[in-house]
Structure 1
Amino acid sequence: MTDFRSILRRVFGRSTDPHASETSRYARFGRRRKRCGDEPKGNVRFAVAIGIFIAVYGLIAGRLVEWGALPTMTETYFRGDEHLVAARPQILDRNGMVLATDITTFSLFAEPRRIVDPDEASELLLSVLPDLDPKWLYKRLSGHGGFVWLKRELTPGQKQQILDLGIPGIGFRTEKSRFYPGRSTAAYIVGHTNIDNQGTAGMEKWIDDQGYRALQNSGLATEADLKPVRLAMDLRVQHVVRDEVSQGLKRYRAKAAGGIVLNVNSGEIVAMTSVPDYDPNIPAEALDKNRLNRMSAGLYEMGSTFKIFTTAMALDSGKIKITDTFDATAPLRIGGFTIHDFHNEHRFLSVPEIFIYSSNIGSAREAEKIGLDEHRAFLTKLGLLSRLKTELPEVAMPTQPKEWKEINNITIAFGHGVSTTPLNTAVAAAAVINGGKLIEPTFLPRTQAEADAIATQVISQKTSDLMRYIFRLNATDPRGSGKNAAVPGYLVGGKTGTANKVVNGRYSNTKKFNAFVAAFPMDHPRYIVLTIIDEPQPEPGKYYATAGMNAAVMAGNIIRRSATFLGVHPQFSDDGKSLLVSY
């Protein structure tokens, strides 16, 4: 019985003894009241604990959501801020056609400390980007760094494929990348950018050098504030020039070819290219040593095109008149060298005949009469011996003998002994036929008033008028070397240049560098068209590969196809009334 009562007391909390004292009952009642009085305080403590628990875990959940939704805003992301790529201004041609613009691309990065399994991550990424080196990729992913680049400039398709892999620790950056819609068409003028969208060649580099690089580095180069850069180039003419020189390269099986179209009155370069060229969307192609901007960065002995300047020098000196004749009956011997003519007339030649027959002997005799010092001074005045000042970074410095001797005076008269760029030659030729004004070339639009303000008078108007007449005569005379450049209706004039190249210190009889300097329309000259072709071979069915057979043809084709774009309309009236010059 005693055990049963004890059990009841433990279960029900009260005594089962009927004789229990009232004092004991009251004591138990007091304890129950005390417990009931403590219940509100316990509820408060419980609520506070629950609240703290919810707040802590809510904060943790919020951070997890933030990190999951914005992986590029982690601390490790900002360690790549030096790679931020800013916007660049658009580059347009003179008519507003886009030559270069920014596009949005995606770049892949990794946070190695968050990579769970570098082996698996490498294999998955290589399934989408097989061009990555496996060893390099594994090393990048298994490191302890906070931020590493894996691949720049992904396509949207590649980005989506990598996202579908679901690899932890892999992220993307949205960047600006340069896109060139015309691809190779204007590569050597427009230039290109590097992986960080910074200009490294052509007008892209010029833009950076004008202060844009500083804006970019300071983070102030925002797309909304950037005005387009408009060039003097006409994309339509540029396409024609590139197409013709590309065809010439194949037709004459040459090493290289190129062309320039220059406004003789403003100095604006409307078109310029050389081939082989490259696609600026693939800048690595520009590293090929054969892909050189030969028109401004290539140095060549320009051959008989220099007879333009020898003739102009002779007439402008006052020592020689257009009616004077020079003995070209026999080769000229000087200092152990013998000067020959390609087509020897074996007679005295007038100044225009020396030009149109391209007589080395006659040009040499003209230079002899002028004198060595005056000859060198004249070429310097025309800018042929100096580095051109223009926006394009890729411009070479011409070379000349350290000490001019009489043999240099003779050979330079017909284009051997001085190396200059085709662009130098075009600019000097423009001064010869535009009224005698030397104007620095520009790849940016220039008004006539701006051109007049910087022009330098280098020969007289009278000499320029005589040179225009001789230019035109060389294209109309059946024996003229420029007849293959003639285009009906456009009053074309010009001069050929066929130079033997130096091979192992000696002039080669088989390797030639050819050029043709054309101008039109000769009654009111507006444009120079200069073409070059390096080491051409005879066209099938023909025996010669001289400039009249290839470079002149290319120049004529360019004029024929681009004249209307340039605003020059054909004229079929009496040829050259304003060109008549009395002997």
Structure 2
Amino acid sequence: MALAHENFAPPISLDGARKVRGNLTQARIRWMIFAIVLGFALVSARLVQLGMVVPDSTIEGQARDLITATRPPILDRNGLEMAVDIRVPSLFAEPRRIIDVEEAVQKLRTVIPDLDEKWLRDRLTGDKGFVWLKRELSPSIQERVMRLGIPGIDFITESKRFYPGMAEASHVLGSTNIDNQGIAGIERHMDGENVALLQELGLARGNALTPVELSIDMRTQHVMHEQLMDAMTRYQAIAAAGIMLDVHTGEVIALASVPDFNPNDPASALVKDSFNRITAGIFEPGSIFKTVTIAGALDSGAVSVSDQFDARFGVRFGRFTIDDFHGKHRILSLPEVYKYSSNIGTIRIMQAMGKEPYRQFLSTMGFDQRVPFELPEMRLPTVPKQLSEVGAATASFGHGLSVSPLHMAVAYAAFVNGGNYVPPTLYKRDLGEAESLYRRVLQPSTSDALRYLMRLNALEGSGSQMNKEALGYRVGGKTGTAEKVVDGRYSSSKVTNFFASAFPLDNPRYAMVIMVDEPKAENPQSGTTAGWNAGTVTGRIVQRVAPMLGIAPDFSEALDQALKPAGVY
């Protein structure tokens, strides 16, 4: 029995050890599986958590992609660059990585001494991940800073807008801020200002990937800007402005207003009186508005070009009498009313039409609303909703209402292009696209009569000084001298002068409005009315730009005779 016990004891002991080891192995496997599952669960939870976290894509509140983004180049109608992006380094710091703040401050100021010491110390102190130190530095400054070897100091490459033409087209282009975002002009429009409205009007263009082509011709723009600057000096004026547009497509060929600013230095736009007078200024237009009055009356059929009007005596309203500046005090034909710029005759023409139809015509021409245009710098005109008898009388010769020079340029384009109102644009537009936007405001016969009157005024009226400067280019137009309101009264010593024109009138292509504000006589033999300044500026511009625009001079008198309507002698 003892032997049997000895023979069977070891197997029992061996089986028990195996069972213990098996159970232990299974337990370890279970724990390992549990640990793996737990690990995967933790990793998955972390991935979910990270997926729900919105990464910080800003630099001190500005989106990184906006700061580093490149704006599309802006080109004139001939492909000349008007605005381009250049890449510049900007200095930033990561304060939490700065080891020795005082050392960093002293070293940085050896390269960039204009950094305020206290301000810089405060910027470098703390645990922030990113702070700007200096934006838009030169590559040489970047190299010198990098040689300092300061931990936590680095550069990011930004885009900076550069305008090769400097101030020449400043009011067209506008400017961008330090983050390269448009803050004025076409730059602001490109960033989406009023996009919805302009898309409805068919005016939105371009995207961030392709060059933006403007309608501006920088050759013409240069001439206009130069002549306006000359007018400021020649006539000791406080301001001058001008706009030229294609009468068939509405494309703005040139637009300038001085004083202006340098878009490479956006802060210069804050200087007093440097606003865009073409779109953001509204003025009493004076006698250039007589063309509007005559257009409305002719088109309504109330008067004809062969009619005559009694201008022997002033027009009385109560105790006030409206007279002519250089009155003929006789019966005047309609062409004489125009070329002598008779206030009396113009009032008679408006009265023949009637003040209610006249007021409606002003709405038809868009004088009581904003001109659809890309520039955000716009002012609403001030035109009374209803006109009294005296209000209609003064409005007929351009007083008692205020509109922008852009309003007048668009109106004159319609007056000579056959009677179609076409919205102006700063983008290139072909004729087919423009024709889809046409809105008829005059009969073609009315347009023909107005072309005759405008050319007649250049040959025999207040536009003769202009015509001497632009011989051969068949320019015609109307002067306007508007007295400014000073202390609630009209002042004869302070005037705003206009000349509204179109050329060549035998086959109209361009309309232009020039303004000279508070001019003085150039010499003792000249005057201060519009023919002596705004008119001559117009002539000098046309004489220089017409050949650039493909218009050849022609001195044939037959061209002028062909403009004369039947029944006019």
TM-score tier by shorter-chain length is: 0.7 to 0.9
> In the alignment, is residue 395 of structure 1 matched against residue 378 of structure 2?
yes
Deviations 1:263-308 (A, max 9, x none): 1111111110100111111111112241111101111111100011
Residue in 2 aligned with 1:199? 182
Deviations 1:322-368 (A, max 9, x none): 12222222222213322121111121111111111111111112112
SS in 2 for 1:376: helix
> In the alignment, is residue 579 of structure 1 matched against residue 563 of structure 2?
yes
Residue in 2 aligned with 1:448? 431
> In the alignment, is residue 484 of structure 1 matched against residue 468 of structure 2?
no
Q: Please give the alpha-carbon distance, in whole angstroms, between the structure 2 residues aligned to 1:471 and 1:331.
A: 25
SS in 2 for 1:513: strand
> In the alignment, is residue 306 of structure 1 matched against residue 306 of structure 2?
no
Deviations 1:518-572 (A, max 9, x none): 1111111110121001111221334521110100011111101101121111112
Deviations 1:231-266 (A, max 9, x none): 111111111111111111111111110111111111
Residue in 1 aligned with 2:521? 538
Residue in 1 aligned with 2:119? 136
**Contact persistence 1:76–1:147 (CA under 8 A):** no
**Contact persistence 2:247–2:414 (CA under 8 A):** yes
Q: Please give the alpha-carbon distance, in whole angstroms, between the structure 1 residues aligned to 2:408 and 2:99.
A: 64
Root-mean-square deviation (Å): 2.2
Gap change, CA 1:211 and 1:556, over 3 Å in 2 = closer
Gap change, CA 1:89 and 1:135, over 3 Å in 2 = same
Gap change, CA 1:379 and 1:139, over 3 Å in 2 = same
Please state how far the C-alpha of 1:120 moved relative to its aligned partner.
4.1
What does 1:69-88 correspond to in 2, within 5 Å? 82-84=63-65, 85=67, 86-88=69-71
Deviations 1:102-160 (A, max 9, x none): 11011111122333443443343334334434432232123432211011111112222
SS in 2 for 1:385: coil
Please state how far the C-alpha of 1:226 moved relative to its aligned partner.
0.9
What does 1:34-433 correspond to in 2, within 5 Å? 82-84=63-65, 85=67, 86-209=69-192, 226-433=209-416
Matching residue's letter, 1:446? R
> In the alignment, is residue 516 of structure 1 matched against residue 516 of structure 2?
no
Matching residue's letter, 2:119? W
Residue in 2 aligned with 1:505? 488
**Poorly superposed stretches of 4+, deviation over 6 Å:** 75-78, 210-213
Please state how far the C-alpha of 1:203 moved relative to its aligned partner.
1.3
**Contact persistence 1:76–1:111 (CA under 8 A):** no
Which of 412, 435, 443 is the equivalent residue of 1:460?
443
**Contact persistence 2:412–2:501 (CA under 8 A):** no
Matching residue's letter, 2:356? D
Is 261-270 or 400-409 further displaced after alignment?
400-409
Please state how far the C-alpha of 1:394 moved relative to its aligned partner.
1.7
Deviations 1:41-91 (A, max 9, x none): xxxxxxxxxxxxxxxxxxxxxxxxxxxxxxxxxx99976672442111111
Q: Please give the alpha-carbon distance, in whole angstroms, between the structure 2 residues aligned to 1:97 and 1:165.
A: 41
SS in 2 for 1:270: strand
Gap change, CA 1:127 and 1:580, over 3 Å in 2 = same
**Contact persistence 1:79–1:146 (CA under 8 A):** no
SS in 2 for 1:160: helix
Q: Please give the alpha-carbon distance, in whole angstroms, between the structure 2 residues aligned to 1:200 and 1:573.
A: 50
**Contact persistence 2:58–2:64 (CA under 8 A):** no
Residue in 2 aligned with 1:31? none
Gap change, CA 1:429 and 1:136, over 3 Å in 2 = same
Gap change, CA 1:149 and 1:458, over 3 Å in 2 = same
Runs of at least 5 residues in structure 1 that lack an aligned partner in the other structure: 1-74, 214-223
Please state how far the C-alpha of 1:225 moved relative to its aligned partner.
7.5
Gap change, CA 1:294 and 1:77, over 3 Å in 2 = closer
SS in 2 for 1:459: coil
Q: Please give the alpha-carbon distance, in whole angstroms, between the structure 2 residues aligned to 1:133 and 1:504.
A: 48
Deviations 1:352-411 (A, max 9, x none): 111111111111121122111111111111112210112222222111225421111000
Q: Please give the alpha-carbon distance, in whole angstroms, between the structure 1 residues aligned to 2:424 and 2:364.
A: 15
Q: Please give the alpha-carbon distance, in whole angstroms, between the structure 1 residues aligned to 2:194 and 2:523.
A: 52
Q: Please give the alpha-carbon distance, in whole angstroms, between the structure 2 residues aligned to 1:364 and 1:348.
A: 14
Q: Please give the alpha-carbon distance, in whole angstroms, between the structure 2 residues aligned to 1:212 and 1:359.
A: 44
Residue in 1 aligned with 2:24? none
Q: Please give the alpha-carbon distance, in whole angstroms, between the structure 2 residues aligned to 1:77 and 1:467.
A: 60
Q: Please give the alpha-carbon distance, in whole angstroms, between the structure 2 residues aligned to 1:127 and 1:211.
A: 47
SS in 2 for 1:373: helix
Please state how far the C-alpha of 1:497 moved relative to its aligned partner.
0.5
Runs of at least 5 residues in structure 2 that lack an aligned partner in the other structure: 1-54, 197-206
Q: Please give the alpha-carbon distance, in whole angstroms, between the structure 1 residues aligned to 2:106 and 2:258.
A: 42
Q: Please give the alpha-carbon distance, in whole angstroms, between the structure 2 residues aligned to 1:321 and 1:246.
A: 41
Is 572-581 or 150-159 further displaced after alignment?
572-581
Q: Please give the alpha-carbon distance, in whole angstroms, between the structure 2 residues aligned to 1:76 and 1:311.
A: 64
Q: Please give the alpha-carbon distance, in whole angstroms, between the structure 2 residues aligned to 1:581 and 1:350.
A: 14
Which of 453, 475, 480 is the equivalent residue of 1:470?
453
Matching residue's letter, 1:154? L
Q: Please give the alpha-carbon distance, in whole angstroms, between the structure 2 residues aligned to 1:543 and 1:78.
A: 62
**Contact persistence 1:77–1:147 (CA under 8 A):** no
Q: Please give the alpha-carbon distance, in whole angstroms, between the structure 2 residues aligned to 1:460 and 1:184.
A: 41
Gap change, CA 1:225 and 1:435, over 3 Å in 2 = closer
Q: Please give the alpha-carbon distance, in whole angstroms, between the structure 1 residues aligned to 2:352 and 2:149.
A: 83
Q: Which one has the largest radius of gyration?
A: 1
Relative to the length of structure 2, the TM-score reads 0.84
Q: Please give the alpha-carbon distance, in whole angstroms, between the structure 2 residues aligned to 1:408 and 1:177.
A: 51
Q: Please give the alpha-carbon distance, in whole angstroms, between the structure 1 residues aligned to 2:450 and 2:195.
A: 44
Please state how far the C-alpha of 1:490 moved relative to its aligned partner.
0.5
Gap change, CA 1:225 and 1:300, over 3 Å in 2 = closer
Matching residue's letter, 2:282? L
Q: Please give the alpha-carbon distance, in whole angstroms, between the structure 2 residues aligned to 1:491 and 1:174.
A: 54
Matching residue's letter, 1:362? G
Gap change, CA 1:165 and 1:356, over 3 Å in 2 = same
Deviations 1:182-224 (A, max 9, x none): 11111111221111111121111121118999xxxxxxxxxx9
Q: Please give the alpha-carbon distance, in whole angstroms, between the structure 1 residues aligned to 2:304 and 2:56.
A: 79
Q: Please give the alpha-carbon distance, in whole angstroms, between the structure 2 residues aligned to 1:446 and 1:225.
A: 19
Q: Please give the alpha-carbon distance, in whole angstroms, between the structure 2 residues aligned to 1:123 and 1:412.
A: 69
Q: Please give the alpha-carbon distance, in whole angstroms, between the structure 1 residues aligned to 2:319 and 2:118.
A: 65
Is 275-284 or 324-333 further displaced after alignment?
324-333
Q: Please give the alpha-carbon distance, in whole angstroms, between the structure 2 residues aligned to 1:243 and 1:577.
A: 34
> In the alignment, is residue 496 of structure 1 matched against residue 468 of structure 2?
no
- Matched length: 498
**Contact persistence 2:57–2:63 (CA under 8 A):** no
**Contact persistence 1:335–1:407 (CA under 8 A):** no
